[in-house]
Structure 1
Amino acid sequence: MRSYAIGDIHGHLDLLLHAHDLIAQDRRQTGDHDAPVIHLGDYVDRGPDCRGVVEHLAQGTARGENWITLKGNHDRMFTRFLRDPAEAEPGLRADLSWLHPRLGGAATLASYGVPNAMDRPIAPVHAEAVEAVPDSHRIFLESRPTWHVRGDCVFVHAGIRPGIPMAEQAETDLVWIRAGFLEDNRDHGFLVVHGHTALDRATHYGNRVNIDSSAAYGGPLTAVVIEGRSVHHLTDAGRIPLQP
């Protein structure tokens, strides 16, 4: 059973389009046009064209592309801000907010035409954001699933709480978890394919694969193809095995 997956995008539409091109190239070589493309979340924040990424994914989904678009913590922070900028984000440190430079929310708002969000009072920024962000984008991001099981793999943005059945996992863990998951070396019953924790390159740990290769920080965007538990990194030169 073949699946494709793409790591954290963070507003880089050019990298996303290239990742889709790599998948199209692999489809041509395999003759498989049915395997889904699973996007692991974090479509917004930090990058230059967050609006473009959301529009591309929403339009593709609407026209019936075989895409699965999972929710990331940055996507949830964005829609939470639109709902109520004073509403606490359970996964975020209390001394931070979505518009803090470390989170990159201002870049998202700038892509929707709301400038200088970090330097102005929150009330007008929020009002402008609500006016500028299409309802279709907000609804699309809010309605994203948080996990997807296919074959021998579970796909999720951040990871899972080990030992908890998938149907009982908390959304905050699925989009935020690091401690308690990254250091757990047990087999979870399936290969966990995730992003969220930025690395220099996609890495296979045996029980999980992290494909967040730091597109948010100037790195590449990783696309992989998975067959059973076999993982290959897709490149311009073709498949490269990704092994523990």
Structure 2
Amino acid sequence: MQSYAIGDIHGQYDLMMRAFDRIETDRTREGAPDSPVVVLGDLCDRGPNSAGVIAHLFERQQTDDTLIVLKGNHDRMFSIFLDDPFGRDPRLRAEYTWMHPRLGGPETLASYGIREPANRPTAQVHAEALAAVPPAHRRWLADLPLFHQRDEAIFVHAGIRPGVPLAAQTEDDLLWIRAPFLEDPRDHGALIVHGHTALEVPSHYGNRLNLDSSAGYGGPLSAAVIEGRKAWLLTDRGRVPLG
């Protein structure tokens, strides 16, 4: 039983489409056209075309029931802004807002055609955002699932709180956790396939697989195939073992 996963996209539409192409090539080669594809969240921010990424995934899901799109912390921050331009994600450090250059909110708004979003009154920018983002996309983004479990893998954006049953995990941890998860070497009862913590290359640690290869910082976007607890990076030359 195989599943596919795509790491943090961060508005990189062209990289996303190449990742889907690699997956389709592998599906065809393996004779597995119905194997699911899980997008690990962080669809938006930093990159140049968050609007295109969100629109494509929304439309693709309407006709492709093998596509699962998970929520990332950046997706939640975008949703919070649309609900309340002065709202704050409870896990965001006090010195930042979603509109801070390090987080990439302005790039997301610019991709919707909003002019100079970081340099004009917030209320005005918010009103333009509500007019620019289709209501169906806004609802879809807010309602994205937090995890997906299949075979011997659990797919999630950031990770899990070690030792806590999956049903008892909090949304904050699933979208934001780092050290307590990343530093825990124990077996979690499944391979945790995640993103959120940017690396230069995707890495398999035995108990978890990190597929965030820094697309949000100019790096590549990784797509992988998972079979049991083994994984392979998909490249233009085919599969490359991870771990």
Task: Give TM class, smaller chain.
Answer: over 0.9
- More deviation in 59-68 or 18-27? 59-68
Deviations along 1:115-169, whole A, 9 cap, x unmatched? 2111112111111111111101111111100001100010000000011111111
CA RMSD across the alignment: 0.7
Hey, what does 1:32 align to over in structure 2? 32
Aligned equivalents of 2:210, 2:127: Cα separation in 1: 37
1:88 Cα offset (Å): 2.1
1:64 Cα offset (Å): 2.6
Deviations along 1:71-104, whole A, 9 cap, x unmatched? 0000000010000022221110111100000100
Hey, what does 1:226 align to over in structure 2? 226
Hey, what does 1:67 align to over in structure 2? 67
SS in structure 1 at match of 2:225: strand
The one-letter code matched in structure 1 to 2:232 is: H
Aligned equivalents of 1:211, 1:152: Cα separation in 2: 17
1:70 Cα offset (Å): 0.2
Runs of 4 or more consecutive aligned structure 1 residues displaced over 3 Å after TM superposition: none
Q: TM-score, normalised by structure 1?
A: 0.98
Aligned equivalents of 1:34, 1:100: Cα separation in 2: 40
SS in structure 2 at match of 1:181: helix
SS in structure 2 at match of 1:4: strand
Question: Contact (CA 8 Å) 2:224, 2:234: kept in 1 or not?
Answer: yes
Hey, what does 2:132 align to over in structure 1? 132
The one-letter code matched in structure 2 to 1:28 is: T
Q: TM-score, normalised by structure 2?
A: 0.99
Identity, % of aligned pairs? 59
1:179 Cα offset (Å): 2.1
Structure 2 unaligned spans of 5+: none
SS in structure 2 at match of 1:9: coil
Correspondences of 1:1-244 after superposition (within 5 Å): 1-243=1-243
The one-letter code matched in structure 1 to 2:32 is: D
The one-letter code matched in structure 1 to 2:79 is: T
Question: Contact (CA 8 Å) 2:77, 2:88: kept in 1 or not?
Answer: no
1:195 Cα offset (Å): 0.2
Aligned equivalents of 2:156, 2:83: Cα separation in 1: 24
Aligned equivalents of 1:123, 1:143: Cα separation in 2: 24
SS in structure 2 at match of 1:117: coil
The one-letter code matched in structure 2 to 1:86 is: F
Aligned equivalents of 1:30, 1:58: Cα separation in 2: 26
The one-letter code matched in structure 1 to 2:50 is: C
